Amino acid sequence: MSKYHTAAPVITIVGPSGSGKGTLSQLLAQNLNYHLLDSGALYRLVALSVSGKGIDPRAQDKVAAVAATLDVQFDASGDATCVRLEGQDVTTAIRSEEISRMASVVAAHPLVREALLQRQRDFRRAPGLVADGRDMGTVVFPDAQVKIFLTASAEARAQRRYKQLEQRGERVDMAQLVADIQARDQRDRERAVSPLKPAEDAIILDSTEMSIGQVLAAMLSHVTGSERDSAATNRSK
Ligand code: DC
């Protein structure tokens, strides 16, 4: 954490779905005035593009070719980031259940991950970057200044999901929700390509008993601590 860096600082946020990492990455980036990389959106965009071209998401070579030439733009000038594919606003389209399923298929191809690597690294610009996604601290930015693994118990995550669904007028069985989350956690941890696990030097934050504000404050204090370490190291050089 206290290495000497000349490149723009990077903070990586990794965590299972329902841990709040999307919301907190956004809040952290806003607070620090940093850029934001939502790497999951890139996999979703590949899925959407492949689907539009009628390509089988399991055809690794064809999907990788699409990933390598993807024409995307992230416009962060408004309140929420607007995502464009070939000029079209696809912010909502990439969040559908079908695209979520396809994204997890295309994300399992090593050639697709390789094709997106440099594109993700290009997000690293001054004054800094908050990078959200499972391989951010291990593969894409192994030299990140602060690596955070955000987690919460399966029950707490199920509770949050339940509330979201309830607001949308959907009724689901709580026990089933917990069982689904536990099954997904196991699949995510055990998958061969970029499994969901904390980097060796990650700080683990368990948000089960914390509010969003408390988690944000904890993250900011780690970032400030790392900046202090870094300044001290530079002075002693
Ligand atoms: O975080 P998300 O649900 O938007 O991610 C979409 C899919 O992409 C999901 O299956 C996880 C995968 N993903 C990945 O493999 N590596 C990343 N860095 C980010 C997301």
Q: What is the CATH number of the domain that holds 145?
A: 3.40.50.300
When pLDDT is averaged across residues 91-104 and rounded to a whole number, the result is 88
Q: Select, from the ranges 14-23, 86-95, 226-235, the one with the highest average predicted confidence (pLDDT).
A: 86-95
- Nearest-CA residue for atom 1 of ligand 1: 40
Element (H, E) at 212: helix 212-235
Q: pTM above the 0.85 mark?
A: yes
Residue 104 and residue 31: Cα distance in Å, rounded?
30
Encoded tokens for 143: 């030299």
- Does 11 map to a domain? yes
- Does 224 map to a domain? no
Let me know: does 80 contact 117? Beta carbons within 8 Å. no
Q: For residue 199, how far is its CA from the centre of ligand 1 (angstroms)?
A: 16
Choosing from 21, 39, 100 the residue with most ligand 1 atoms within 8 A of its CB, the one to mutate for a pocket test is 39
Q: For residue 43, how far is its CA from the centre of ligand 1 (angstroms)?
A: 6
**Confidence at 232, pLDDT banded by 50, 70, 90:** confident
Q: For residue 196, how far is its CA from the centre of ligand 1 (angstroms)?
A: 10
Q: Which residues pair with 146 in a beta bridge?
A: 11
CA distances to 7, 92, 112, 196, 228 from 219, in Å: 21, 28, 31, 20, 14
Segments forming the whole domain that contains residue 103: 7-216
- Nearest-CA residue for atom 15 of ligand 1: 107
- Does 228 map to a domain? no
- Does 136 map to a domain? yes
Residue 175 and residue 158: Cα distance in Å, rounded?
9
Residue 156 reports pLDDT greater than 50: yes
Q: For residue 230, how far is its CA from the centre of ligand 1 (angstroms)?
A: 31
When pLDDT is averaged across residues 71-81 and rounded to a whole number, the result is 83
Residue 143 and residue 7: Cα distance in Å, rounded?
10
Encoded tokens for 218: 């904890």
Q: For residue 87, how far is its CA from the centre of ligand 1 (angstroms)?
A: 23
Residue 4 reports pLDDT greater than 60: no
- Does 223 map to a domain? no
Quick one: pLDDT at residue 115? Answer: 97
When pLDDT is averaged across residues 178-200 and rounded to a whole number, the result is 84
Q: For residue 61, how far is its CA from the centre of ligand 1 (angstroms)?
A: 19
Quick one: pLDDT at residue 230? Answer: 74
Based on the structure, what is the number of domains in the chain?
1
Residue 202's φ and ψ, nearest 5 degrees, are: -80, 150
Q: For residue 134, how far is its CA from the centre of ligand 1 (angstroms)?
A: 7
- Give the ligand 1 atom nearest the CA of 140: 18
Let me know: does 106 contact 61? Beta carbons within 8 Å. no
Let me know: does 47 contact 106? Beta carbons within 8 Å. yes
- Does 225 map to a domain? no
Which residues are near ligand 1 (CB < 6 Å)? 39-40, 43-44, 103-104, 107, 133-135, 194
- Does 226 map to a domain? no
Quick one: pLDDT at residue 2? Answer: 40
Choosing from 12, 13, 104 the residue with most ligand 1 atoms within 8 A of its CB, the one to mutate for a pocket test is 104
Sign, CA dihedral 18-22-209-136, equals positive
Residue 77 reports pLDDT greater than 70: yes
Residue 11's φ and ψ, nearest 5 degrees, are: -120, 120
Instruction: Strands of the chain (E only): list them.
Output: 10-14, 35-38, 72-75, 82-85, 88-89, 129-132, 146-151, 203-206
Residue 189 reports pLDDT greater than 90: no
- Nearest-CA residue for atom 13 of ligand 1: 40
Element (H, E) at 231: helix 212-235
**Confidence at 16, pLDDT banded by 50, 70, 90:** confident
- Does 235 map to a domain? no
Buried b (16+ CB within 10 A) or exposed e, 100-132: eebbbbbbbbeebbebbeebbeebbeeebbbbb
- Nearest-CA residue for atom 8 of ligand 1: 40
Quick one: pLDDT at residue 98? Answer: 86
Residue 79's φ and ψ, nearest 5 degrees, are: -65, -50
Quick one: pLDDT at residue 180? Answer: 86
When pLDDT is averaged across residues 108-117 and rounded to a whole number, the result is 95
Residue 193 CB neighbours (<10 A): 11
Higher-scoring residue by pLDDT: 228, 128 = 128
Residue 237 reports pLDDT greater than 70: no
